């Protein structure tokens, strides 16, 4: 069975594989949740797309865009079955 730390590593590697690593910054683990049936991990990673950097002070003024993606990782084999946009409410 895949444990939580391994699920996070798998999701992070998948994100880097799909998106150009040079195009994303400040990747952070935001949430981890075990599904109700305990068969999948739901791992949410947040990052800033580099194209959102408009000026040198954007980081301090909070104008940078942050994107959240939730990955579904199978606990048996570590395969990703979904990547979804996580909307903040």
Of 76, 80, 85, the closest CA to residue 3 belongs to 76
pLDDT at 11: 98
Per-residue pLDDT band for 53 (boundaries 50, 70, 90) equals: low
Give the pLDDT mean for 75-84: 98
Tell whether the model's pLDDT for residue 14 goes beyond 90: yes
pLDDT at 54: 60
Whole-model pTM: value is 0.83
**CATH no. for 4-85:** 3.10.450
């Amino acid at each position: 069975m895949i444990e939580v730390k391994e699920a996070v590593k798998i999701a992070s590697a998948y994100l880097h594989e799909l998106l150009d690593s040079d195009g994303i910054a400040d990747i952070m683990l935001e949430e981890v949740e075990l599904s109700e049936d305990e068969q999948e991990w739901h791992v949410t990673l947040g990052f800033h797309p580099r194209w959102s950097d408009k000026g040198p002070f954007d980081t301090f003024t909070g104008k940078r865009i942050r994107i959240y993606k939730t990955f579904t990782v199978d606990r048996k084999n570590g395969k990703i079955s979904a990547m979804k946009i996580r909307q903040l409410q």
